[in-house]
Structure 1
Amino acid sequence: MKRTERSFTERRNMGSGLAFWTSSLLLLLLVMCAQGIEGRKMSEKQWETTHTEHVHAHPSSHMDHMDPSHMIFFTLKDLNLGKTMAIYFPKRNLSKSPPLLPREEVDPIPFSSKQLHHLLQFFSFSQDSPQAKAMEDTLRHCETAPIKGEIKSCATSLESMLDFARGVFGFDNRFSVVATTHLTNSTTLFQNYTILEEPKEILATKMVACHTLPYPYAVFYCHSQESSNKVYKVLLGGEDGDRVDAVAVCHMDTSQWSPNHASFQVLKINPGSSPVCHFFPADNLVWVPTSTSM
């Protein structure tokens, strides 16, 4: 067995917390893990950040003023069979995804905005490059204090992500992961989707959401809130025939969110006035206790 495959298997089997992997997540992590530390010397063209994506379709002209990447939000009352919504689903090329490094390789690398100049030299990026700006934004986002009732951590390895989840769920409890799966190979990023089946709630007393951030290696912004949240699996059908088995989370209390949060602009509501729901892209993860109903 190759070293990268063996090390992935060892990391996958750490502790009792990790109960199972979805096939799409397994593929994502295998590809990201297999690249290893050699992926750090990437050219500016090789590292594809979210800033380089383009929207291929616009469902309606009145949304032209809105950033399409913000079109992931909806309200709880929208979560019904037959409901049609304009949704942005970024398409990720797994072969070009930043590598998910093991802890022993990533821990010696500084992860601090104070070390940004050194990091740019280490990764061979110029100071005025888009990658430098993305790295600066990611580091500052990770260093921002959590909102009231939230715990957060930027996971730079699979081990650190699992450690954070164990801290939330308890070290003696088992937990599982769910992720959005694209059932077709549509290249349309932004289009109208219709809910094809009754949404299925995943009954979770707690949850940990992990969002990818742009960086030369894989970084996940993981957080959990004390306030109530609901997790759903939603089967969606796009106008072009696209099919997505999507994960959605509804935050029931948004009173502590910033009034400038994109969701309030999209939904035209105020903090705390209504639950805010959103879909997860395929490279984001949601961890839930395994005792939940899937």
Structure 2
Amino acid sequence: MARSLAALLLLLQIAPVIASAYLYQEDSVGSAFFLKNDLYPGSRMTLHFTHADAGATVLPGGRADSIPFSSAKIPEILSRLSVPAGSPAAAAIRFTLAECEAPPLAGVVAQRCATSFESMVDFAASSLGTREVRAMKTKLSKEGAIPRQAYMVESVRPLPVAGRDMVACHCMPYPYAVFGCHTTTAAVYTVILAGADGTKAEALTACHADATPGIFWPTYKKLGVAPGSVPVCHFLPQDSMLWMRN
């Protein structure tokens, strides 16, 4: 189901506020889609590896559970977190809560916003039907801000995924670490990239053969393909995780 009109209006109101922090900003790897045929050693692409959750505190499960996480409790949340009502941080809170409370997109079996590492593991385990799970993420050789720059693909290695279904968790704009998690299916690859400034990236890459809900029609139009006709890929930002069975 499409995002609600209320959530869309809220997004339009606060987009300038969250643009620098939200992981799917236009030039980030989270929104840089490409075709599977373009992923081979020697290919080049311009990428921006952002790190949207830099400085976000990951709360212990008990602490996170003690703080309300609901649009109906926004005044209490702002008070508990000492966030001024009209501030950019308050706008980000409203946006994330609206996103977390929206119905899943068509094709997504389950989704949940995790406010702690423990709740993220619980959702991954329940979605995949086992506690034997592991998390994979993108790794870079340098810390801190890395400029948007040209990268060359050095190698592409398929990553076996038992059952093909996984749980993807992405960082959301919030005063502490909150991850939007959802089920997904994809072919996964570990891609080694070499940046123009010497940065090396071991980038987790997901290629979706179906018309995945996370890739909207303007992306397919830009790539010149019909939804579901060919695999469409994207790199995962550093602050995203893919959970899969061991």
- Relative to structure 1, the CA distance from residue 196 to residue 152 in structure 2 (aligned partners, 3 Å threshold; closer, same or farther) is same
SS at 2:237's partner residue?
coil
Distance verdict in 2 for CA 1:179–1:216, change over 3 Å = same
> 1:244: how far off?
0.6
Decide which of 188, 197, 200 is 1:231's aligned counterpart: 188
User: Aligned residue pairs: how many?
Assistant: 223
Aligned to 2:95, the other structure's residue is in SS state helix
Distance 1:274 1:134 in 2: 35
1:251 pairs with one of 198, 208, 211: 208
Range with greater deviation from structure 2 (182-191 or 263-272): 263-272
1:200 aligns with 2:157: yes
User: Any gaps of 5 or more consecutive residues in structure 2?
Assistant: 1-16
- Correspondence 1:191 to 2:149: yes
State the TM-score, normalizing by the size of structure 1: 0.68
Which residue pairs with 2:128 in the alignment?
A: 169
Q: Does 1:145 align with 2:103?
A: yes
Q: Is the 8 A contact 1:185 1:242 kept in 2?
A: no
Q: CA 1:254–1:159 in 2, change beyond 3 Å: closer, same or farther?
A: same
The alpha carbon displacement at 1:289 in A equals 1.5
Could you tell me how far apart the structure 2 residues matched to 1:279 and 1:91 are?
Answer: 13
Aligned partner of 1:86 in structure 2 is 46
On the 8 A contact 1:91/1:189 being kept in 2, the answer is no
Asked if 1:128 corresponds to 2:128, the answer is no
Structure 1 residue 270, shift from structure 2 partner? 4.5
Identity of aligned residues (%): 35
Q: CA deviation at 1:194?
A: 0.9
* 1:37-68 Cα deviation digits (max 9, x unpaired): xxxxxxxxxxxx96446xxxxxxxxxxxx932
Say if 1:73 and 1:266, in contact at 8 Å, map to a contact too.
no
Answer 1 or 2: which has greater strand percent: 2
**Which letter maps to 1:209?**
A
Q: Is the 8 A contact 1:103 1:160 kept in 2?
A: yes
Partner of 1:73: 33
Aligned Cα root-mean-square deviation (Å): 2.4
Q: Which amino acid aligns with 2:191?
A: V
Larger Rg: 1
Question: 1:117 & 1:266 partners in 2: Cα distance?
Answer: 42
